[in-house]
Amino acid sequence: MLLSESLGVPSARLWKLGVFDSYLGVDSLLHVDPARLRSTRIQELRGSYKQFQGYFARILDLIAAAKPGDALERQAIRGLIFPEIREAALGYAEASNAGRGVNLDVAKRLYATAKAIVDAGIQNPSIFEIAVLFEEKFGPDLISDMTIFLLLEDLGRFNQRVADKLGLRTVSRTVHGTKGTFVHSKSQGQAMLLIPHSVLADLPVATDWSEIDGVSAYNTSLRKRINEVVQKAWSKRVKRLSKSDYKAVLLQHPDLLRELLSNYAKAKAEPYDFDSDPRGQVIWHRASREYAKKHPLRLGPAHTTDEVYSVVLQICEHFKHLVEQKGLNDLLFDADDKPKIEKASQLLFFGIADSYCFANGLDISREPQTGRGPADFKVSKGYHERVIVEVKLSSNGKFLDGLTAQLPTYLHAEKAKQGIFLVIRVGEHEKKLKRIAKAYRELKVEGKSAPKLIIVDATAKLSASRLKGIFDYDPDPVEEDTLC
């Protein structure tokens, strides 16, 4: 459900008032970037960046004067603990790690790092903004939590203004001693904190510096933006280091940290581009509804496990048809014809499948926790009739593991009898696709339980001569011909 739907207001009206119209219960890659506050034109947030930095400047004063185990140290650590604002309407799903707040353990590590930096002669509050680069288990989602909490009163005034214009009811809440104004959603029966879309950036995929090259195409990524500053400042002196390695280098060479902080202060913080939607964060919902309405799917009954599996299989084959024949593949690539991240394709599949599942009385859950990690999707009817679906891009370096290891594990954990492994081809990956087809055939020959393998070609249509031989590895032609 869209936030606007839960509030009973037009989506366009919400966007026009500057509010991010999020998808409730669907994990988002977007976060509040404090650097976006430097140039915000939202009247309630003018001066917020100064307030944000002022808070951390006071924390640094405590850290500079603190001694091991004394009251100042304890006070500084307490000041680095930030609760999650569960009402923040950023779309975080329940199973997501995003929005979990900064706990005591993370606060202690931040304190230790900040103390070492202060002892090196640097007392700049921006070190907490760039800590994402060198602090383990600390990412932009936690910076977002910090920012939302510190600006709760300012965001509350923004919420009040929007609510007044839309005729919505507001409620006041106190979160860890800080008062805020929230918009009340009657349909959800809960308070929600509206977030301005102009202060949002996207969460990068990389979890440490060794993976940073994988997100170099996304110029609105916080890590990528800072990475450019680092590479400019450090040239080739350091390369492909882990977070802990980077931290060690920074502490050994404080002049590099000073230069990094200086460049970070000058760097332009770009908001997320909602128009082109390079990460597929918003367009999937509208597109899936439109496609489902334009291309209805007639499904049979779904009461038994076999019937549920048959229906889910038809939905997957229909998704394949929409991608390969009806132009849905356009939404899987950015303006430069580069594949969007895997999550964009999963969201698009989720939207399409959800439309048809709803019409057939089926429940589809995104990233249900199986006890062995999250599967991509679980489709169920009641408690016993369950089907697990994994959706992977052919560009995923570990997608073969999904067929041979991950999906069988999820099936066992969920006590599901049937599974579908849906691979979306987004590039010239013939060798990888042939390997997975070979692995699939070997599972069949060995008599092992093998999920259904469906390969979806999302690439631009090739000429007949180039197509010859590429799809000679159709894993189950008889079954698929029957479905067609």
Q: How far apart are CA 107 and CA 161, in angstroms?
A: 34
Phi, psi of 266 (to 5 degrees): -90, -20
pLDDT confidence of residue 379: 80
Q: How far apart are the first and last CA of the chain?
A: 32
Which two three-digit tokens encode residue 53?
Answer: 């930095």
Coil/strand/helix, residue 102? strand
Alpha helices per DSSP H over 301-446: 305-325, 342-359, 399-401, 407-414, 430-445
For the chain, give the mean pLDDT.
Answer: 78
Residues constituting the chain: 484
Res. 459: pLDDT tops 60: yes
For 83-123, how does the pLDDT look when each residue is reduced to its tens digit (9 = 90+)? 888 888 786 555 454 557 889 999 999 999 999 999 999 99
Check the CA dihedral 48-50-56-62 and report its sign.
Answer: negative
For residues 319-331, give the mean pLDDT.
91
* Mean pLDDT (whole number) for 411-427: 74
Pairing of the two strands 418-425 and 452-457? parallel
pLDDT band at 37 (very low <50, low <70, confident <90, very high): very high
pLDDT at 407 over 50: yes
pLDDT above 70: percentage of residues in the chain: 76
Taking CA atoms, 452 is separated from 140, 315, 320, 363, 377, in Å, by 37, 13, 14, 20, 14
Q: Nearest 5°: CA angle at 233, between 232 and 237?
A: 95
**Rounded to an integer, what distance in angstroms lies between the CA atom of residue 351 and that of residue 334?**
19
* Residue owning tokens 């229909």: 318
> What are 119-177's pLDDT values in tens digits?
999 999 999 988 877 887 788 888 899 999 999 999 999 999 999 999 999 999 898 88
Tell whether the model's pLDDT for residue 360 goes beyond 90: no
Is residue 236 pLDDT above 70, yes or no? no
pLDDT at 483 over 50: no
Average pLDDT value for residue range 56-71: 96
- Which sign, positive or negative, has the C-alpha torsion 394, 397, 402, 404? positive
Question: How much helix, strand and coil, in percent to the nearest 5, is found in the chain?
Answer: 50, 15, 35
Q: Which of 49-63, 271-285, 388-402 has the lowest mean pLDDT?
A: 388-402
Query: What span, in angstroms and rounded, lies between the C-alpha atoms of 409 and 390?
Result: 12
CA angle 84, 90, 94 (to 5 degrees): 65
Task: Give the strands of the sheet with 170-175, arranged side by side.
Answer: 170-175, 178-185, 190-192
What's residue 304's pLDDT?
81
What ranges in 120-221 are assigned the alpha helix state H? 140-150, 152-166
Name the one residue in this structure whose structure tokens are 């007044």: 164
